[in-house]
Each structure stands twice: as structure tokens, then as C-alpha cells.
Chain A
Amino acid sequence: MSRRKFWTPLYATLRRNLPSKHPYFPASSVFKFPSPTYSFSPPSPSSSPSSPFPSSYDFYSLQNLKFPVRSFCFSTGSEEQSSARCWSCGAVAIAAPFLVCETCRSVQPVDHSVDYFHIFGLEKKYDIEVQNLEGKYKDWQKKLHPDLVHSKSERERGYAAEQSARVIDAYHTLSKPLLRAIYILRLEGVDVDEEETLTDPELLSEILEIREAVEEAADPLALNEIKSQMNEELNHWSNSFATAFRCRKFEEAVNSIRRMTYYERVTEEIVKKL
């Protein structure tokens, strides 16, 4: 059982108490965000490991994966989008996702019902063209990055910081197969417990074997060999995940993620040693 279940992420308790700019700005100025989707109520008991204030900063840190379950009460359909209005000029949103106003170019508050795939204009599926992400990522940053709204209002600078950080996380999450797998599964309401104790004896002994091989590897050549082996495994299990997910066999999908997580960790260890 995971002890991690017990703690609420620190930022969650503090998220909105944190002045985003300077300590001497009154905290109330940060509280003013009149975001329709932002909720400050405590999480329901059933969603204990998740955060009421979904910060998108930490999706690519494996051991810190937390997820805003709350945001999935919303459908990601465009019906809701079409009624959205710009906080600044009042213009009705034309394009979806509505991160920036097309009329006055103001950065909009974060809408957590917009998922990462949506941000990148992608269909919600696991197999995506990762090469195409960077261009879209840069397009968004050019509209959202806090450096570019430096001279604008405190309010908009706050939105820009949040939106930009969210796009960074979306980019990182979608471009890494393991993180993308965990993410897409959670969009389906399936939570992957990272710290779960390993029960599969086969996988357990395999992991121990690989760990030993890494420990004993004498030179970079040997390490690189294990690394490419790990890459093959990662590819294989990534494909298994894709198949399982497509058939909505979530248990199998979780199993693939478990495998990928371990091979990823070994790869990280190797890179540290190289």
C-alpha cells in the first residue's frame, strides 16, 4: 500500500496563497481571479491523492504525479467553449481552446477542462506525432509567455504565468511516452499508483537482474548496451500500452505503465553513471 496516498501536495494547500510575483503584493490580489472553473473547495474524500488546485507544474516529475480529478467532471466538448467570453474585452471566444483572446490578445485564465491534447489540437489518443509538438508549443508560448506580457496588468501577468506553465507541462507530458500514457489513462479516470509494492515475481527478478547488470557494468560501452536494451523494452511496452488502451483494457494498460516506469528508472540510473 502506498503511504503517498496520505499526503496532499504542499502546493495544493498553498497554491492560491502564494503571491505569484512579490511577497509584498497583497495576497488578496491573487485571490481575485474570477475564473469560472477555478474551485477553492476542499477535495472530496474519494479524491484524496489529488489536488483541489491543480497546478500543472509537476506532471513530468514521476514520483510527484498528482492529478486534478475534479477537472474531469467537465466535458471537453466545444459547447462550453463557445460560450466563453474574454475577461478583458468581453469578446466571445472564436477558436478552441480559448487560451488567448483573438480580439484583444489578452491571456485568459486557465480552464482545467481543456486537456493537454486539446491544447495541442490533438485527438485524445496515445499514438501521436511527437515531432509536431514543439512547433505548437512555441506558437503558444509566443502568445502566453509571462515575459511577453511584462508591461500588462498584474492580473494578466498572473494568467500568463499559469497558462505558460501549463503549456510547458502539456508539452513535457505529451512528448514523453510514459508520462503521456499515465496522463491519458487518468483522463479515463484510472489512477496509476507509482509507489505500489511490486507483486509480480517475474518482473521483480527481472528488475533485480537489470539493476545488478548496471551495478557491475564496467565501462560506458556495457552501460550503453543495457541502455539500448531498455529502449527496446520501452518501445515494446509502449506499443502494448497503445493496444491495451485502444481496446480499453485498462488493467493491461496499467501493467504496461508499470513496466515502462521501471525501464525508465533503469535508463535514468544509467545516464547518471555515464
Chain B
Amino acid sequence: MAEPAYTVASDGETTGEEKSSSAFPEIAIGIDIGTSQCSVAAWNGSQVELLKNTRNQKMMRSYVTFKDDAPSGGVSNQHTHELEMLSGASIFNMKRLIGRVDTDPVVHASKSLPFLVQTLDIGVRPFIAALVNNVWRSTTPEEVLAIFLVELRAMAEIALKRPIRNVVLTIPVSFSRFQVTRIERACAMAGLHVLRLMPEPTAVALLYAQQQQQTIHENMGSGYEKIALIFNMGAGYSDVAVSATAGGVSQIKALAGSAIGGEDMLQNMMRHLLPDSEIIFSNHGINEIKSMGLLRVATQDAIHKLSFETSVQIDVDLGNGLKICKVVNQEEFQEVNREVFEKCESLIIQCLRDAKIEPDDVTDIIAVGGCSFIPKIKNLIMTTCKRQELYKGINPMEAAVCGAALEGAVASGINDPFGSLDLLTIQVTPLAIGIQADGNNFVPIIPRNTTMPARRELAFTTVHDNQTEALIVVYEGEGKKVEENHLLGYFKLVGIPPAPKGVPDINVCMDIDASDVLRVLAGVVVPGSQQPAIPVMEVRMPTVDDGHGWCAEALHRTFGSRLNLVTVQKKMQQ
């Protein structure tokens, strides 16, 4: 057998942070892996440039097709027709699936994709498979992403004529730290080292900061502060950021995000056109996959046309006696996706509120991502921000990757004589991090939108007399109840000196350092003593693996409320 064309390094947990010792710093490239499309950009010495593949494309579809021989992805390969991608042999939407368990609604929504997404609904990773010669060949989102990244890397190496190792990747705001580890793992498998991960809208904010900086240079004006609201909506995710920019420094004021995007609109429309499509296609037989593909392509076209026209005629023969012949207008499209639009609106409102910024104080409204072309999306952004127009100086499809490439150059220590890289983004935590306490409540210790690096500490105490053990269960997210959040890990404190309930002080400290590494520390102090009663526990998070949904259930079943904690404030109120 021939050497496989794609070598994926071992599926190890660590990325191996070795320092390159060469005199010339390697300039990290920027990669924007979209749910649907992907692009790569790099600093060329004077500006950021998008890299092209051999077919001269800057935007490449994010998918990998499995075949008898080596798999191939959207960088090297090109389907003659969209339908080929929908034959069941190609896996796409990796970004929606990565790091999610089979109880996640986003995974459930992916069951209507042509490839196989199977769930057992017990909180483990879903089963994902591609159809190769009538055989369902299993894979994982990490593996698919890694194969895709290997292609991207090869493409960048050809374009830049140098080996590539360091990358800056953009990620959705709503990604949990667990999902981030999956992305890092895929990169490691592809031989890439993640120098930095940037929430997508903050990459756009960086590009905006550079543009403002240059305008100031040209006009010799004073660098007064500019507030930008960035709304980014692609196929898989919606993100909002508010940034305050002056002198090339953008302080992120607030972030908000959700796993809602063009894919949801597409599925809502498919359901609208063929109400029992999910049941019809649930078997994933060859014919059903074909029908599914036809419906998907027809719906995609219709949505695209509705960006320019008020109504569109859909005429498609799905085979098996299924025909759709229907006129769909703008109003119908908006009604079908009302929840999506409402969610977008609420994200913008939440982000402005968290940033403590009034719409009137926003200098520029920037809309980027594939969905920013949809008229209803543009309208809702302008209405929510009380504005007549959007910022025009940024290419909506290239903004995130350009920002990532700028960050790549800055983080690699590159200096530009003209000051184009005189930039800095000060990031905030996109999600709150806390522990389970006061029953099954999520008690944040580091709130969302805290400037990083950050360290916070909160006091808890026992709920039972002579409770000698306590379970520290760490979650990340925005829900009030723990089950609405992402589990990051857990550990047990043992040896708490016996005392009446409420007496021991259990301090939990969370620390996010300059490299964005999260550590959780827990210690016990008995009143009257200066020293910790037992050695302090220090745990680097996340510690969970793929079965984390199942894990939380098991913890609850095994321990119940025996090892619970309450916040000290709560106790004092009682």
C-alpha cells in the first residue's frame, strides 16, 4: 500500500509547547475555520494577505470527503456540484459538532445532515460516520478537522514557501473551554501549534483598531476613543462584541454568543418546505440521502435568492414520488426564522448592557459573516443599535481571518516600521466560570466579561454537620442551574476538620493566567487558624473528557447532596 497522503500526528492530549529557538521569529498565520467556509491569511511584511489554494480560491468549503483511499477536503478538492458534498461521504459542519455530547440540541439538529450523526442521548460523544461504498465509516469531528487542517497547512506552506507551525485561530464566543481543548487537539494532530485563540468578533475588533490607527496616522488627528459593536453571524454561530479602541489598543468591553446561525435558518426552511422531512430521512438510506441533498441545495438557493428578491419559486423533484413546488416570500422566511432573529437581537442587547454602553455611544456598527448579507439581519442590527447604516470599511467575509493574521504577527513579535502592528487586544472571559453550590445552582466565581488575566476567590462552607469531604464541580456558562452549563471538571476535598455545618471556610480561587490557562484552587480554613487545615488543591482545568454529560449525571447519582457546599453569603442571609 502506498504511503497515506495525509499524516495525522498522534491523538495525544498535549500540544507540546516547545519554543522555537531560531533567530527569526516564525510569523504565525491566521486561520478562520468557519462552519461552512474557511480561509487563511498571513502578514506578508507590510500587510495582511489572504492565501489562495491551487485553484486560486481564498474561501474554501469546510468539509472532508471519505473515500476508499485517502480522504480529501475542501482545500485540495472541489466538487463539480454541491450535491456531491451531500452524498453521505463528506463530513461538514465540524465546528457545530466538535466537543459536544449527544444530549446537546445542536447535535440533535445535525441528525438531518446527509452523513450519519447518531445519538444515544446519555451524555457521551455522538457517533459520526461517512458513507463509503455503502459502508458507514466512523470518524470524529476532531479527526475530520485535523485532516482539513493538514490540507490548509500544506496549502499555506506552498503559498508562503516556508514550514508552518504556529497559528492563530478564531473561535466562536460561545465555545466552552472543553470545546477549545478539542480544537487544540485537532491542531496538534495536524502538527500545528495554537499560538492564540481569538473569539471571532475580537479578531474583527483588532482589524478595526488597525484601520482606525491608520486613519489617525493619515489625518494626524488625536486618537480619541472609538466604540465599535461587532456582530458576526456565520453558518454555525452568532457572536457580538463591544470594543473600545484608542491608539491601536482595543479593550473588549463585552462578548455575547450563541450556537445559532445560517444552518438553523436552512433547517427551519427545509422543515417549512417539507414538514416531516426529519422522519422521511431518518433512515439514512441511499435514496433518502439523495433526496435530502436535493432539498438542502434547493433550500440553500432559495435563501440566497431571498437576499435580493422578495419571493422565490422552488421547484424540486426529490425522487421517491416527493415533489416540492412552492413560492416562498420574505415574510414567510422571516416568520419561519423568528426565533433565530429574536436570539440575534437579544445577543446584541445583552452585549451592550454588559459593556455598559448605550447604542448612541457606539461609533461604528460592524456586521460580518455569511449571514450579514441577509436583509433581515442587517435591519435588526441597525434597529437594535438605532442606526441608519453599517460600517463599510471591512470585508464581511475576510475580516475575522485578517484580524487573526494581524494577531499572529503581533504575537510573533513582529515589528512594522510604519506602526501597522502597533496593536493590542485586551480580552475578556466570554463565559462565566464557577462551581456547583447552594443545591444545583451554578455560582460564578469569575463572571463573564472579566478582563484577562483574572483571578477571583469566593468563600463557601459545608451544608452538613461534621462534613469532612466536599465535591468541587467546575462549570462554565451562563445558566443559573449547573445542568445548563458546560462541565469542565471536578475534584474532591477531603480531610475537612469535623465541625458544625457552616463553620469551615472553603475558599475556591480561580485563576486565568496570561496564557489563558485556567486553574482552580480550593483550600479549607477553620476559624481561628491562619494556615490551611489541609493541603490546598490546585487543578488545571478542564479535566473532563468526551463523556462529560454522562459524568455530571453519575456524580449526582453517586453523591447526591452529601458533599455539597453553600456560598458564605447565602449562609449569612439565613
Report which A residues bind B (CB closer than 8 A): 3-4, 6-11, 13-14, 18, 20-23, 48, 55, 57-58, 61, 63-64, 134-135, 137-139, 141-142, 145-148, 150-152, 157, 160-161, 164-165, 168, 172, 195, 274
Report how far A141 CA is from B425 CA in the complex, Å: 9
A161 near B426: Cβ-Cβ < 8 Å: no
- The smallest beta-carbon distance between A152 and chain B, in angstroms, is 8
Report how far A147 CA is from B514 CA in the complex, Å: 8
A148 near B456: Cβ-Cβ < 8 Å: no
Sample 17 A-B pairs with CB under 8 A, ordered by A number.
A8-B531, A10-B508, A11-B455, A13-B531, A14-B536, A21-B513, A61-B456, A134-B225, A138-B246, A138-B249, A142-B248, A142-B249, A142-B424, A145-B426, A147-B196, A161-B513, A168-B451
B410 surroundings in chain A (CB, below 8 A): 147-148
* Partner among A11, A21, A22 whose Cβ is within 8 Å of the Cβ of B521: A11
Report how far A157 CA is from B522 CA in the complex, Å: 26
Report how far A7 CA is from B422 CA in the complex, Å: 44
A58 near B424: Cβ-Cβ < 8 Å: no
Report which B residues bind A (CB closer than 8 A): 17, 25, 195-196, 225, 244, 246-249, 251, 353, 410-413, 422, 424-426, 451, 453-459, 505, 507-509, 511, 513-515, 517, 519, 521-523, 525, 527-532, 536, 538, 540, 569, 572
B451 near A11: Cβ-Cβ < 8 Å: no
* Partner among A4, A7, A13, A138 whose Cβ is within 8 Å of the Cβ of B251: A138
A22 near B244: Cβ-Cβ < 8 Å: no
Q: Known: A23-B540, A147-B411. Contact between A63 and B569, CB under 8 A?
A: yes
Report how far A163 CA is from B569 CA in the complex, Å: 31
* Partner among B196, B244, B507 whose Cβ is within 8 Å of the Cβ of A10: B507
* Least CB separation from B411: chain A residue: A150
* Partner among B25, B517, B529 whose Cβ is within 8 Å of the Cβ of A22: B517
A150 surroundings in chain B (CB, below 8 A): 195, 411-413
Q: A14-B521, A57-B454, A165-B455 are in contact. List 19 more A-B contacts (CB 8 A).
A: A6-B505, A6-B529, A7-B525, A13-B531, A57-B455, A61-B457, A63-B569, A64-B457, A134-B244, A134-B246, A135-B225, A138-B247, A141-B426, A147-B196, A147-B410, A150-B411, A161-B513, A164-B514, A168-B451
A11 near B453: Cβ-Cβ < 8 Å: no
B456 near A160: Cβ-Cβ < 8 Å: no
Among B514, B522, B528, the one with the most A-chain Cβ atoms within 10 Å of its Cβ is B514
Report how far A61 CA is from B569 CA in the complex, Å: 14
B525 near A8: Cβ-Cβ < 8 Å: yes
Among A23, A48, A64, the one with the most B-chain Cβ atoms within 10 Å of its Cβ is A64
In the complex, number of A-B residue pairs with CB atoms less than 8 Å apart: 128
- The smallest beta-carbon distance between B542 and chain A, in angstroms, is 14
- The smallest beta-carbon distance between A215 and chain B, in angstroms, is 14
B528 surroundings in chain A (CB, below 8 A): 6
B453 near A161: Cβ-Cβ < 8 Å: yes
- The smallest beta-carbon distance between B74 and chain A, in angstroms, is 32
A48 near B455: Cβ-Cβ < 8 Å: no
Report how far A135 CA is from B412 CA in the complex, Å: 25
* Least CB separation from B567: chain A residue: A63
Among A10, A13, A48, A195, the one with the most B-chain Cβ atoms within 10 Å of its Cβ is A10
B456 surroundings in chain A (CB, below 8 A): 57-58, 61, 64
Report how far A7 CA is from B504 CA in the complex, Å: 10
B251 surroundings in chain A (CB, below 8 A): 134, 137-138, 141
B530 near A48: Cβ-Cβ < 8 Å: yes
Among B195, B353, B521, B572, the one with the most A-chain Cβ atoms within 10 Å of its Cβ is B521
A157 near B514: Cβ-Cβ < 8 Å: yes
B413 near A151: Cβ-Cβ < 8 Å: yes
A18 near B511: Cβ-Cβ < 8 Å: yes
A9 near B507: Cβ-Cβ < 8 Å: yes
B536 near A151: Cβ-Cβ < 8 Å: no
A141 near B424: Cβ-Cβ < 8 Å: yes
A151 near B25: Cβ-Cβ < 8 Å: yes
Q: Known: A6-B505, A147-B410, A147-B425. Contact between A14 and B538, CB under 8 A?
A: yes
Report how far A8 CA is from B457 CA in the complex, Å: 11
- The smallest beta-carbon distance between B363 and chain A, in angstroms, is 14
* Partner among A22, A135, A138, A172 whose Cβ is within 8 Å of the Cβ of B515: A22
* Least CB separation from B503: chain A residue: A3
B17 surroundings in chain A (CB, below 8 A): 22
- The smallest beta-carbon distance between B475 and chain A, in angstroms, is 19
A161 surroundings in chain B (CB, below 8 A): 453, 513-514
* Least CB separation from A152: chain B residue: B413
B517 surroundings in chain A (CB, below 8 A): 21-22
* Least CB separation from B461: chain A residue: A3
Report how far A164 CA is from B426 CA in the complex, Å: 10
A20 surroundings in chain B (CB, below 8 A): 513-514
B225 near A11: Cβ-Cβ < 8 Å: no
- The smallest beta-carbon distance between B421 and chain A, in angstroms, is 10
B424 near A145: Cβ-Cβ < 8 Å: yes
Report how far A152 CA is from B509 CA in the complex, Å: 29
* Partner among B515, B527, B536 whose Cβ is within 8 Å of the Cβ of A13: B536
B457 near A151: Cβ-Cβ < 8 Å: no
A168 surroundings in chain B (CB, below 8 A): 426, 451
Q: Known: A10-B521, A13-B532, A142-B249. Contact between A3 and B540, CB under 8 A?
A: no
